[in-house]
Amino acid sequence: MTVVSQQKPWQEIARQVQAARERSIEQVDPDIAALPETHAGRVIDVARNYLSPSEQAISESSAQTLVASLAAGKLTALAVTNVFLRRAAIAQKLTNCIYELLPERARARAKQLDAYFAKHGKPSGPLHGLPISIKEHVGLAGRDLSAGFVSWVEQKSAEDANIVKILLQAGAVVYARTTEPQGLLFHLCGRWPWKRVAISPVPLPIRITPLSRRVAPLVESPHCKRCGSIRSPAANCGLYGLKPSTGRLPLIGCGAYVLGCETILGTLGPISPTLGGVEIFMKTIIESKPWLTDPMVLPIPWRDQDSHIRRDGKKLTVGVMWTDDVVTPAPAVTRALREVVERLKVVEGVEVIEWKAFRQKEALEILTKLYAPDGGKAFARHLESSGEPYTPLTAWTLRDTPGIEELSPQGVWDWTGKRELFRYAYLQHWITTAPEMDVILCPAFPTPAPLHDTSRYWGYTSLFNLLDYSALVFPVTRVDPERDAKDTSYTPKNEFDAWVYEHYDPMTQKHAPVSLQLAAKRLEEEKLLQAFREIQEKIGLPFVDCLA
């Protein structure tokens, strides 16, 4: 990516982006543009106050329900698109989740789809009329591709990213582009600089950076991740988020300052209010055979027609990792995990075993070296070109953390070699100590949604980036201050553990979603989704509707 030198102060550029976003909201509904941005309590409830009963019903329908209704002609694409534009505009005023709305493009697309349906009497594709948001760094022809840097604003995409082309071919309507962390790096550093406010749709004091939520509701939203920017926001907002292994979904046309650095590869994946939305997304993209146009995509078809669990009468075996032995999960997370395990243990055909953390400190050391093998210099350069300051978390992670250093070419080779040896060792440990284990059940994050600038540990998600395993986050329950009280007798084991312990506050995080994570081996997305579908149906997840 070639960056044009910015002559304006970075604050002015940011204000221009914000103003353009406000204009896009005014195009949807001028009254929403005047909506106050500070509300006490659950902002999901605030959003519902500005929607008619029919708008609420449409915008809170699952992807499966919407696709079926659109395919049957019960709803028009234009009607659904207008509802989602309105709710996304409301969500932006309440949570700062939108980079820009696309009312002109989305409405024109919806009208085109309705005309097709009227002429042919059938949907144009498997996603006919389904509104989909995309993260801003997923290229859209003629639109900004800032990838979280002020200095990249006004760099335009020449064409749609491959994944957008596939979604459009399937009949989807792209109606919004969502905000992202500084430089795409840290999923909980705030949606800087496009207004330093970002919150969960649950209690207002929880300062997080959700990418997609039902309050928007951004039904299907492809995101890119190297350390948890699919699973962490999904966990914090009570949504489903899937990180596939690299090579399953196309990346061509997406922007990132680390493109070309293959030490820890990123991947796209969906966030959805329902598991079915994740399944529809993956099936649609992979059945389009994206490897025919993107050489980085592996030629592996979507294999959901085959059973990947219970083969030869074998039980579904779930390994439970209670802690990674570096940071102990907060009481709310441990309770959620315990409740799931207790119910699984009495399900016929499911076996629950213990899975101990494996060399987690070594994994974290490798990740620290390989996330920024240049010592953070490229990141700093992109900030300096506009004068944009570091956010607290990017400063801490890319500049101030012990272990961050510029590696020589030999150093990059050495640490990449350690990455491969760790992957080999982890797999050997799996197949020798628990060969029957199908999936790993563990925390997604050590706490419920954290406050702004306090998310310093993401080892539970980044482990599976290092391994390149497929992983799914799913909602379980909500924080209950009485049941999830802080253990005042606990003594932290290390600096990370102390930080997480100090910043856990069940009163501040009251009613926040509590989510868990299920992981399978590399390229086992179909097996992972089948295993979770089985678990979900057998024990009735989530135990509490986090979006109600």
Helix (H, G, I), strand (E, B) or coil at 406: strand
Residue 545 burial (C-beta neighbours within 10 Å; 0-12, 13-18, 19+): exposed
For residues 419 and 437, give the distance between their C-alpha atoms in angstroms, rounded to a whole number: 23
Which spans in 253-359 are helix H? 275-287, 331-344
Q: Is the pLDDT of residue 1 over 70?
A: no
- The proportion of the chain whose per-residue pLDDT surpasses 90, expressed as a percent, equals 70
Q: Is the pLDDT of residue 313 over 50?
A: yes
Instruction: Tell me: do 55 and 171 sit in the same domain.
Output: yes
Quick one: which of 521, 355, 360 has its CA closest to 438? 521
Q: Which residues contact 389 (CB under 8 A, 6 or more apart)?
A: 383
Instruction: Tell me: do 112 and 77 sit in the same domain.
Output: yes
Contact criterion met (CB below 8 Å) for 164 and 27: no
Residue 531 burial (C-beta neighbours within 10 Å; 0-12, 13-18, 19+): buried
Helix (H, G, I), strand (E, B) or coil at 541: coil
For residues 373 and 471, give the distance between their C-alpha atoms in angstroms, rounded to a whole number: 25
Separation in Å, CA 243 to CA 130, 304, 511: 22, 17, 26
Instruction: Tell me: do 328 and 278 sit in the same domain.
Output: no
* Beta-bridge mates of residue 519: 440, 471
Mean pLDDT, residues 159-175 taken together: 97
For residues 440 and 431, give the distance between their C-alpha atoms in angstroms, rounded to a whole number: 13
Instruction: Tell me: do 160 and 284 sit in the same domain.
Output: yes
Instruction: Provide the number of structural domains found in the chain.
Output: 2
- Is 461 part of any domain? yes
Mean pLDDT, residues 499-510 taken together: 95
Instruction: Tell me: do 458 and 328 sit in the same domain.
Output: yes
Q: In 10 A of CB 155, how many CB atoms?
A: 16
* Beta-bridge mates of residue 439: 318
Mean pLDDT, residues 141-152 taken together: 90
For residues 220 and 530, give the distance between their C-alpha atoms in angstroms, rounded to a whole number: 19
Q: Is the pLDDT of residue 204 over 50?
A: no
Which spans in 189-298 are helix H? 231-237, 275-287
Which pLDDT does position 228 carry in this prediction?
61
- Is 213 part of any domain? yes
Mean pLDDT, residues 191-209 taken together: 45
- Is 301 part of any domain? no
Residue that terminates a domain, selected from 258, 292, 326: 292
Helix (H, G, I), strand (E, B) or coil at 475: strand
- Is 3 part of any domain? no
Q: Would you place residue 45 in the very low, low, confident or very high pLDDT band (cuts 50, 70, 90)? A: confident
Q: Would you place residue 193 in the very low, low, confident or very high pLDDT band (cuts 50, 70, 90)? A: low
Q: Is the pLDDT of residue 222 over 70?
A: no
Instruction: Tell me: do 253 and 338 sit in the same domain.
Output: no
Instruction: Tell me: do 269 and 324 sit in the same domain.
Output: no
Quick one: which of 161, 233, 219, 252 has its CA closest to 191? 233
CA 217 to chain centre: 14
Which pLDDT does position 477 carry in this prediction?
98
- Is 534 part of any domain? yes
Q: Is the dihedral of CA 178, 181, 187, 188 positive or negative?
A: negative
Which pLDDT does position 215 carry in this prediction?
32
Q: Is the peptide bond before 193 cis (omega within 30 degrees of 0)?
A: yes
- The proportion of the chain whose per-residue pLDDT surpasses 70, expressed as a percent, equals 90
- Is 98 part of any domain? yes
| Encoded tokens for 542 | 């989530």
- Is 546 part of any domain? no
Q: Is the pLDDT of residue 88 over 70?
A: yes
Which pLDDT does position 41 carry in this prediction?
63
Which pLDDT does position 50 carry in this prediction?
87
Residue that terminates a domain, selected from 262, 292, 322: 292
Separation in Å, CA 338 to CA 5, 103, 333: 53, 45, 9
Q: Which residues contact 3 (CB under 8 A, 6 or more apart)?
A: 149, 151, 152, 155, 382, 385
For residues 250 and 9, give the distance between their C-alpha atoms in angstroms, rounded to a whole number: 35
Mean pLDDT, residues 65-78 taken together: 98
Which pLDDT does position 196 carry in this prediction?
46
Q: Which residues contact 346 (CB under 8 A, 6 or more apart)?
A: none
| Encoded tokens for 539 | 């024990």
Mean pLDDT, residues 504-518 taken together: 96
The separation between the first and the last C-alpha atoms of the chain, rounded to the nearest angstrom, is: 42
- Is 545 part of any domain? no
pTM: predicted TM-score of the whole model, two decimal places:
0.93
Instruction: Tell me: do 527 and 457 sit in the same domain.
Output: yes
Instruction: Tell me: do 367 and 503 sit in the same domain.
Output: yes
The CATH number of the domain holding residue 170 is 3.90.1300.10
Mean pLDDT, residues 185-211 taken together: 46
Q: Which residues contact 535 (CB under 8 A, 6 or more apart)?
A: 316, 318, 340, 344, 350, 518, 541
Type and span of the H or E element at 353:
strand 350-354
* Beta-bridge mates of residue 320: 354, 441
Instruction: Tell me: do 225 and 138 sit in the same domain.
Output: yes
Range of the domain at 204: 10-292
Quick one: which of 267, 211, 221 has its CA closest to 244? 267
Q: Would you place residue 55 in the very low, low, confident or very high pLDDT band (cuts 50, 70, 90)? A: very high
For residues 227 and 184, give the distance between their C-alpha atoms in angstroms, rounded to a whole number: 10
Instruction: Tell me: do 407 and 442 sit in the same domain.
Output: yes
Which pLDDT does position 209 carry in this prediction?
32
Q: Output b/e per residue, 37-52; b: 16+ Cβ within 10 A.
A: eebeebbbebbbebbe
For residues 126 and 342, give the distance between their C-alpha atoms in angstroms, rounded to a whole number: 38
For residues 453 and 208, give the distance between their C-alpha atoms in angstroms, rounded to a whole number: 9
Instruction: Tell me: do 88 and 223 sit in the same domain.
Output: yes
Which pLDDT does position 403 carry in this prediction?
85
Q: Is the dihedral of CA 85, 269, 250, 187 positive or negative?
A: positive
When comparing pLDDT for 45 and 353, which is higher?
353
Which spans in 29-160 are helix H? 30-33, 43-49, 53-59, 63-71, 77-95, 103-120
Residue that terminates a domain, selected from 292, 322, 349: 292
Contact criterion met (CB below 8 Å) for 297 and 433: no
Type and span of the H or E element at 272:
strand 267-272
Q: Is the pLDDT of residue 225 over 60?
A: no
Q: What is the mean pLDDT of the chain?
A: 89
Give pLDDT tens digits for 435-445.
Answer: 999 999 999 99
Which pLDDT does position 307 carry in this prediction?
86
For residues 215 and 273, give the distance between their C-alpha atoms in angstroms, rounded to a whole number: 10
For residues 131 and 244, give the distance between their C-alpha atoms in angstroms, rounded to a whole number: 22
* Beta-bridge mates of residue 195: none
